[in-house]
Amino acid sequence: MDRFISRTIISLLLLAFVTVVIYVFPLWLFCVVVALFVGFAQAEFFRMVEGRKIFVYKYFGTVVGSLVPLVIFAGYSLPGMKNLEPLLIIAAGLFVFTLQFIRRDNARDHLVSISVTLFSLFYISWFFSFFMKLRLLDNGANLVAFLILVTKGADIGAYLVGRRFGRHELIPRISPNKTVEGTLAGVLTGVLLAVTAGRGLTGFSLLHASLAGIILAVIGHVGDLAESLIKRDCGVKDSGPYMAAIGGVFDLIDSLLFTAPIFYFYVKTF
């Protein structure tokens, strides 16, 4: 119960902070906050991976990962630097290979080291940086708020219902605490929030709000399971020490890593 209360208090404080970041902070400061979330999440990811005795370039990966949202913002502010984040990731890939050439140990884990380092840039940094792309769209602040509201609302609905009424485990080998009942409740919560807030925040029709709610709730749950899979593979319960009361920064943003890019393309397409 103490953990539940502490999680609730911290979640409310985070909600207030995120609201200020979205609606009060200037664009450059919003970008800095996104970069900080990326940096902390990547640091936790590399910490977990090192627990598996996998060699990674954690400092290089964390710095480059944090630069991706900054490069996106620079492209918005300076038209000559538009769409440079893929070039940054490609350059990072080349540099990671170069770093392998100068390793002094007779290592046999080059492929794993390269793959894990680059994976973190795509999975954490690039995916989460779509928050910056969303914020730069027309009505961007409300779109970001809608995305967080529906995705995290679905998370909360799944957690509360699963904790109280969950009887049937979903995928126990990956996440023993997730249940079928909780998952269904999470999807329903996401749809209700999307329909309720969709018109006011986004101007979506009832159909598009409903579709967005289903997509974000389902994919957010997949993102949560994906991070749980990584944690189980690394043999840890929580992702890291930052925001430890709620499991870590990586735990906090896991469901948003897939929903952010997918919602961006949904908005751009429809």
The full DSSP string for the chain is -HHHHHHHHHHHHHHHHHHHHHHTS-HHHHHHHHHHHHHHHHHHHHHHHHHTT----HHHHHHHHHHHHHHHHHHHHSGGGTT-HHHHHHHHHHHHHHHHHT--S--S-HHHHHHHHHHHIIIIIIHHTHHHHHHTSTTHHHHHHHHHHHHHHHHHHHHHHHHHH--SEEETTTEEEEEHHHHHHHHHHHHHHHHHHHHHHH---HHHHHHHHHHHHHHHHHHHHHHHHHHHHHT-SSS-STTGGGT-HHHHHTTHHHHHHHHHHHHHH-
Which two tokens mark 185? 């409740």
Rounded mean pLDDT, 238-255: 82
Q: Per the structure block, which two tokens stand in for 17?
A: 């902070």
Whether pLDDT at 113 is above 80:
yes
Burial string for 72-102 (b: 16+ CB within 10 Å, else e) reads: bbbbeeeeeeeebbeebbeebeeebeeebee
> Does residue 67 surpass a pLDDT of 90?
yes
Distances from the Cα of 17 to the Cαs of 33, 117, 132, 206, 208, in angstroms? 11, 30, 17, 29, 28
Q: What is the mean pLDDT of residues 41-66?
A: 92
pLDDT at residue 124, as a whole number: 96
Tell me how far apart the alpha carbons of residues 212 and 201 are, in angstroms, rounded to a whole number. 13
On the question of pLDDT at 256 being above 70, the answer is yes
C-alpha Rg value of the chain to the nearest Å: 19
Averaged confidence pLDDT in the chain = 89
Residue 195 vs residue 76, higher pLDDT: 195
Which pLDDT belongs to residue 238?
81
Of 41-50, 198-207, 261-270, where does mean pLDDT reach its minimum?
198-207
pLDDT band at residue 2, thresholds of 50, 70 and 90? Answer: low
Q: Looking at residues 188-192, what average pLDDT do you find? A: 95
pLDDT at residue 15, rounded to an integer: 87
**Cα–Cα distance measured from residue 23 to residue 38, given in angstroms and rounded to the nearest whole number:** 20
- Average of per-residue pLDDT across 149-155: 94
C-alpha separations of 69 from 8, 32, 249, 256 in Å:
29, 8, 17, 15
Average pLDDT on 217-243 reads 89
Instruction: Report, as an integer, the average pLDDT of 5-26.
Output: 86
Is residue 64 over pLDDT 90?
A: yes
| CA gap 256, 81 in Å, rounded | 26
Lowest mean pLDDT among 12-16, 37-41, 46-50, 204-208: 12-16
Residue 40 pLDDT class (50, 70, 90 cuts): very high
Q: Is the pLDDT of residue 103 over 90?
A: no
Tell me the pLDDT band of 244, cut-offs 50, 70 and 90: low
Give 163 or 250, the one with higher predicted confidence: 250
Backbone dihedral angles phi then psi of residue 251, each to the nearest 5 degrees: -60, -35
Question: Does the pLDDT of residue 1 top 70, yes or no?
Answer: no
The pTM (predicted TM-score) of the whole model is 0.92
